[in-house]
């Protein structure tokens, strides 16, 4: 008798607003990440999970605080960010040079993938879209799979894969439609092991928050 298993539902909290549950689930900024103003003190980010607008606001606020502390007029010390709604590319203009050359720059997170010095009083557009998440897809691996699953043309234990389609700080609820059933590799099921990983095979850290994965076992024709 051939049996197949499929994912009926996935429910989990990928990014939790800090005030709601007290801790972030997936960090996209570490305490070593900086926004470098050339010839000046770098802006250091507290470790945590940030949306694009939150990054913009954090930098703009720190720049404004520096301007006030130095008693400079607004037109002499400011920066303004925006995102092209069509391409997802970040743009900014500043009254100071910005360095993306350091290894700990948050530039790649904002799509600035090249190590360059961006000159003042010019509009700079990132060559790549915003990469605010440090993963692109969520893969659910299952130890029961036989040989029906492949990843990059190689046999895999991935039972289901999907791209998260919610914004940061939102709960994700995903139900495959239709459910795809894959053959299992045993007649007696003594244990089931599931792993939730990214496209690189790295485990996603849910920081002890509960997730729910509903499996469905059927007899294949």
- State the average pLDDT over residues 157-169: 76
More confident residue, 10 or 165: 165
Is the same domain home to 145 and 210? yes
Q: Examine the fold and report which residue of 103, 125, 147 is the final residue of a domain before the chain moves on.
A: 125
Q: Are 198 and 135 in contact (CB under 8 A)?
A: yes
Q: Are 138 and 196 in contact (CB under 8 A)?
A: yes
Q: Is 206 exposed, middle or buried (0-12, 13-18, 19+ CB in 10 A)?
A: middle
- State the average pLDDT over residues 164-177: 71
Give the helix ranges, DSSP H, for 6-51.
18-21
Is the same domain home to 105 and 169? no
Is the same domain home to 141 and 195? yes
Is the same domain home to 149 and 175? yes
CATH code of the domain covering residue 210 = 2.60.120.1100
Is the same domain home to 116 and 145? no
Mind listing the pLDDT tens digit for each residue in 113-153?
Answer: 899 999 999 999 999 988 776 667 888 898 888 777 777 77
Q: Are 210 and 41 in contact (CB under 8 A)?
A: no
CA distance 4 to 186: 10
- Does some domain include residue 164? yes
- Does some domain include residue 77? yes
Is the same domain home to 191 and 152? yes
Domain that holds residue 210: 3-22+133-219
Residue 94: φ, ψ to 5°: -140, 160
Tokens (6 digits) for 47: 């470790």
Is the same domain home to 17 and 97? no
- State the average pLDDT over residues 31-46: 81
Give the position of tokens 């939102």: 170
Is the same domain home to 149 and 200? yes
More confident residue, 108 or 119: 119
- Does some domain include residue 28? no
Is the same domain home to 152 and 206? yes
- State the average pLDDT over residues 185-209: 81
- State the average pLDDT over residues 153-164: 84
CA distance 34 to 41: 10
Confidence of residue 99 (pLDDT cuts 50, 70, 90): very high
Q: Are 220 and 156 in contact (CB under 8 A)?
A: no
User: Is the overall model pTM greater than 0.95, yes or no?
Assistant: no
Q: Examine the fold and report which residue of 125, 146, 161 is the final residue of a domain before the chain moves on.
A: 125
Total domain count, the chain: 2
Confidence of residue 15 (pLDDT cuts 50, 70, 90): very low
Helix, strand, coil distribution of the chain in percent, nearest 5: 15, 35, 55
Is the same domain home to 38 and 117? yes
CA distance 161 to 20: 28
H or E segment at 137? Answer: none
Mind listing the pLDDT tens digit for each residue in 48-90?
Answer: 778 888 899 999 999 999 999 999 999 999 999 999 888 889 9
Give the helix ranges, DSSP H, for 14-87.
18-21, 52-69
Is the same domain home to 193 and 156? yes
Q: State the CB neighbour count (10 A cutoff) for residue 74.
A: 10
The reported pLDDT for the residue numbered 47 is: 77
Q: Examine the fold and report which residue of 90, 125, 160 is the final residue of a domain before the chain moves on.
A: 125
Tokens (6 digits) for 134: 């440090």
Q: In this model, does residue 190 exceed pLDDT 90?
A: no
Is the same domain home to 9 and 43? no
């Amino acid at each position: 008798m051939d049996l197949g298993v499929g994912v009926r539902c996935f429910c989990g909290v990928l990014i939790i607003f800090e005030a709601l549950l007290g801790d972030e689930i997936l960090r996209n900024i570490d305490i070593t990440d900086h926004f470098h103003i050339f010839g000046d003190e770098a802006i250091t980010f507290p470790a945590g999970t940030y949306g694009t607008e939150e990054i913009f606001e954090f930098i703009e606020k720190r720049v404004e605080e520096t301007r006030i502390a130095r008693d400079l007029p607004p037109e002499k010390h400011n920066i303004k960010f925006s995102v092209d709604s069509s391409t997802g590319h970040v743009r900014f203009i500043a009254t100071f040079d910005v360095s993306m050359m350091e290894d700990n720059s948050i530039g790649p997170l904002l799509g600035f993938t090249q190590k360059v010095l961006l000159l003042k009083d010019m509009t700079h557009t990132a060559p790549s879209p915003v990469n605010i998440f440090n993963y692109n897809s969520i893969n659910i691996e299952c130890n029961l799979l036989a040989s029906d699953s492949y990843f990059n043309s190689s046999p895999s234990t991935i039972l289901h894969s999907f791209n998260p389609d919610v914004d940061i700080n939102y709960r994700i609820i995903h139900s495959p439609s239709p459910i795809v059933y894959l053959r299992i590799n045993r007649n007696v099921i003594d244990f089931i092991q599931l792993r939730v990983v990214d496209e690189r095979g790295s485990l996603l850290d849910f920081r002890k928050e509960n997730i729910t994965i509903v499996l469905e076992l059927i007899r294949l024709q």
